[in-house]
Chain A
């Protein structure tokens, strides 16, 4: 067993950290306050290959395995204080992955290059107002129609929704009671008649990321826009969500590492009662707990990514990674703020933004409670 990253992976990660610090952080306070997505930064990330890391070179991708990709995402979220941007990029990667793994050749040829180059922005639309954790209860339908399907329904909270050029929509195509026989995945482009996106939702955190409702009103979708086959939607969703959970966990790990280092520095330099606050056990224990979470989080992410690279199913491990890293992120952010005292509570310190951002981690891509249900269900109880 080898825990060491390769020289090539280290070099790549270091370059990404430098790039992120130099190019992505300026004006983050303002963009956060204004809920502003910055296309210039999006394109810069795409230019250095972030959107295409895992895809074959023939489509303009970097041909990296998931272990390398995870390392890059971690480096990006460590260097980049705009976590909303990193998560928007992860959505882009996950949309590309669905097309790469399940799409037909002509779909890959048409859609992968602009997704990889960042020229087109992609979104994945599964959740609805009344169907969140219970994906199978969704109401959006795709009814057979001459030459294809007619799509009707409204999706909710969709990342990249207001700015998306391409949307991968999961909709019901059958009458079966059983969701995973019933769902199919469609490519909808923004020009499609009957498709519209609502305005950006004001969020507590991750404010630079754009989220909205998406409306599909009698959208006629040609049959060739179905991803995979009719009835394959739940399988596509299950596969994509494993990748998404691992990539999101990697993003959280990078943020945790950044906050941990900031907090260690602060605890070493902030003096009270004649000594650095890091000398007080109540403070140093919190920092030790941060370190424990980072080390253990890294191991489970590396295992899950390795499994995917070996084509081993990673349902349990990706759920463990998601639940562990998201809950750790929330705890580390809260502890970092506490250790920074009043200064941490001020906007200037930047920590309150990470605290606000962290609350979405245990909700999106399957809430913690759902992850535990999955882990329990697959634990031979």
Chain B
């Protein structure tokens, strides 16, 4: 499974579990749609940091970096390259 797919699976199973069938593509707006709320983001951060062994610096903790699967993938790429 590639990064985007792993993030998608996590979101589907952990952030919107039990809320029916939701389609999430790489550009689906995760914040405005309410899929990620203020507690959901903590869950997502913990997932990203443990699953991908990534350390997200305070300066990267921006809504822009988590608003879609594409944005999360781009963040992870950046972290890997650093």
Q: How far is A180 from B42 in the complex, measured between Cα atoms in Å? A: 11
Q: Which of A178, A239, A378 is the one whose CB lies under 8 Å from B37?
A: A178
Main secondary structure of the interface of B (DSSP, over half): helix
Q: Report if A180-B46 is in contact (Cβ < 8 Å); known contacts: A228-B58, A229-B62, A235-B62.
A: no
Q: How far is A135 from B49 in the complex, measured between Cα atoms in Å? A: 26
- Within B18-45, which residues are at the interface with A (CB < 8 Å)? 31-32, 34, 37-43, 45
Do the beta carbons of A181 and B42 come within 8 Å of each other? Answer: no
Q: How far is A102 from B31 in the complex, measured between Cα atoms in Å? A: 22
Contact partners of A315 in chain B: CB under 8 A: 42, 46
Beyond A178-B34, A234-B38, A235-B58, 18 extra complex contacts between A and B, CB < 8 Å: A102-B58, A102-B59, A176-B31, A178-B37, A180-B41, A181-B31, A228-B59, A229-B62, A232-B63, A235-B61, A235-B62, A238-B41, A312-B49, A373-B39, A377-B39, A377-B40, A378-B43, A378-B46
Determine the interface band of chain B, counting residues with CB < 8 A from chain A: 20 to 34
Name the CB-closest residue of A to B43.
A378
Name the CB-closest residue of B to A98.
B58
- Tell me the smallest distance from the CB of B71 to a CB of chain A, in Å: 12
Contact partners of B45 in chain A: CB under 8 A: 313
Do the beta carbons of B38 and A238 come within 8 Å of each other? Answer: yes
Name the CB-closest residue of B to A100.
B58
| Chain B CB within 8 A of A374 CB | yes
Contact partners of B32 in chain A: CB under 8 A: 176-178, 181
- Within A155-182, which residues are at the interface with B (CB < 8 Å)? 176-181
| Chain B CB within 8 A of A147 CB | no
| Chain A CB within 8 A of B51 CB | no
Q: How far is A281 from B10 in the complex, measured between Cα atoms in Å? A: 51
**What 8 A-B pairs are tightest by C-beta distance, nearest first?**
A235-B61, A181-B63, A180-B38, A315-B42, A377-B39, A101-B58, A231-B63, A313-B46
Q: How far is A178 from B37 in the complex, measured between Cα atoms in Å? A: 7
Do the beta carbons of B38 and A179 come within 8 Å of each other? Answer: yes
- Within A334-381, which residues are at the interface with B (CB < 8 Å)? 373-374, 377-378, 380
